[in-house]
A = this chain, B = another copy of it.
Amino acid sequence: MVVLELSEQDVNRLFRALADATRRDIVCRTLVADVSVSQLADSYSMSFAAVQKHVAVLEEARLVAKEPRGRERMVRGNLDRIRQAQRLLDSFEELWRSRIDRLDILLAEDEPAPPDS
């Protein structure tokens, strides 16, 4: 099993990259098929350069990778990164569960559970 080795900065970049509808759409499209930057650019009502920048943000977050193919760059989504994000969210859930566990222990004590103090 691969250890989750992400710096806080990496996590910031990861979630930030996902916090934009155009970028999420790019991730979707590049997960289901190989697409070039110019093909992507044709789909959105913004300049080529703007799309290029969105791809760059996704690339820094390692949510996609670019691979040269002739004179164009094919963009491919990186599912592993998505899974890392999922594991991060899982850890929140585990924290929450640990709280419930502690509450259960309190409730199981001989003495009645003290109110939150």
**A interface, CB within 8 angstroms of B:** 8, 11-16, 18-21, 24, 27-28, 31-34, 77, 79, 82-83, 85-86, 89-90, 92-93, 95-96, 98-99, 116
Q: How many copies does the complex hold?
A: 2
Residue A15 contacts which of B18, B82, B90, B95 (CB distance < 8 angstroms)?
Answer: B18
Q: Given A82-B89, A86-B86, A89-B86, answer yes or no on A95-B28 (Cβ-Cβ < 8 Å).
A: yes
Chain B residue nearest to A96 (CB atoms) is B31
Query: Nearest 10 pairs between A and B by C-beta?
Result: A15-B19, A16-B19, A15-B18, A31-B96, A32-B99, A8-B21, A86-B89, A82-B92, A15-B15, A79-B96
B83 touches A96 (CB 8 A): no
